[in-house]
Amino acid sequence: MDLLDFDAKEMYFEQPLSPQAEKLIAEAARQYGEETAEHSLLHAYFLEPEHLTVLVALYRYFFYRHRYPEALIVADRAIAVTATQLGLSTDWRTLSKGDLERAVSVSMTLTRFLLWALKGSGYLKLRLDDAQRALERFEKVMEMDTSDRFGMQELLELARAKVEEGQIRTVGDKATCPAN
């Protein structure tokens, strides 16, 4: 499936957002760097917890502040919300190519967003030193994107190297498994 071959219809950020949530996101942008920015974003989230614009704004806030555990929570939430909107299982591990082909008929844009969010969450897992979980996410994206339009090959190699590095450690002259 070529995930870059599509005509964009409605993008996730073009869905109607309540004026109050929109105002809170704009306030957060003006307040960036101040503690009040997070409060505005969380308020927007409480108003619209399933709106992807709110989730993306909250994700970016945490990501750019290097608060990766919080960004990962938001990324996983965005994955679950998007999967639900596409009529898919919220457990990304169970997704198949057939599921994604059906999802494309609902929305190519949301299907791509789902895969970008999964890639992003894998990247966060790498930043959090969880290479095995990152690799699982990257492999799922590659399973769906056999043409590698999402540029997964380098991330896959990096995650695999980190996993292998963690599986065999050298202690003195002996190679041991972490469990030993």
Q: What is the DSSP letter of 65?
A: T
Looking at the domain assignment, is residue 89 inside a domain?
yes
Looking at the domain assignment, is residue 115 inside a domain?
yes
At residue 5, the pLDDT reads 45
How many whole angstroms separate alpha carbon 169 and alpha carbon 151? 30
Looking at the domain assignment, is residue 62 inside a domain?
yes
SS3 of 170, please? strand
At residue 12, the pLDDT reads 58
Q: What is the DSSP letter of 18?
A: -
Q: What interhelical angle do 97-106 and 108-127 show, nearest 10?
A: 130
At residue 15, the pLDDT reads 81
Looking at the domain assignment, is residue 149 inside a domain?
yes
Q: What percent of the chain has pLDDT over 90?
A: 76
Q: Give how many domains the chain has, as a whole number.
A: 1
Looking at the domain assignment, is residue 90 inside a domain?
yes
Place of tokens 């939430």: 77
Query: CB–CB of 56/78 below 8 Å?
Result: yes
| CATH at 161 | 1.25.40.10
Looking at the domain assignment, is residue 7 inside a domain?
no
Query: Exposed (0-12), middle (13-18) or buried (19+): which is 9, by Cβ within 10 Å?
Result: exposed
Looking at the domain assignment, is residue 6 inside a domain?
no
Confidence of residue 13 (pLDDT cuts 50, 70, 90): low
Lowest mean pLDDT among 29-38, 102-111, 125-134, 170-179: 170-179
pTM assigned to the model: 0.84
Q: What is the pLDDT of residues 56-107, one digit of tens each?
A: 999 999 999 999 999 999 999 999 999 999 999 999 999 999 999 999 999 9
Looking at the domain assignment, is residue 126 inside a domain?
yes
- Print the domain residue range for 44: 12-176
Q: What amino acid is encoded at 41 in this protein?
A: L
